[in-house]
Amino acid sequence: MRHRVAGKKLNRSMDQRTALRRGLISDLFRHDAITTTEARADAIRGQAEKLITLARHRGNLNDLVELAKAGDRVTLTRRLTPTQAETLIKTAQTKPDALNQAAAAIVVAARRQAARTLYRRDVVQRLFDEIAPRYATRSGGYTRTFKLGQRKGDAAPIVRIELLEAQE
């Protein structure tokens, strides 16, 4: 029984599995769509969506500054940790000139967190600058998979996993 064990093993050791997932997610963000096996697509889907959510919530400096100036605790607490939200609101009230620096620290931390998973800097930049703003109004479900049939050699089910467009 695999109680409370998350993720699929994909018949690989842990370091190989991690490298495979990082490569697939990086390629998905670089090309907006990849063709792979169904098991691999299922293995990366959740992690890819979490990275997009991270970029949406913590990646936009201007949004964080505006929410802190407005004192919107509810939205900030939903996007950040409660400690980060309180720090931004207190900074906005006591030292408004230091607010940009405090919010920038949160954005940089989010980019570093994404860079732990993604292989290349240009992919991290694309995630935060192009992909996350595309889903600014969407609350989840950023990817879609299409079944394409079976691979000839071993009859493995092949799927195409892609990022949705903004208006869909």
What radius of gyration, in Å, describes the C-alpha atoms of the chain?
A: 19
User: Could you give the number of structural domains in the chain?
Assistant: 1
Do the domain assignments include residue 60? yes
Question: Is residue 76, in this structure, part of any structural domain at all?
Answer: yes
Bridge partners of residue 150, in order along the sequence: 157
pLDDT in tens, 64-118: 989 899 988 898 999 898 998 999 999 999 998 898 999 999 999 999 999 999 9
- Residue 39 is part of which domain span? 14-148+155-163
Asked if the structure places residue 5 within a domain, the reply is no
CATH number at residue 117: 3.90.1030.10
% of the chain exceeding 70 in pLDDT: 99
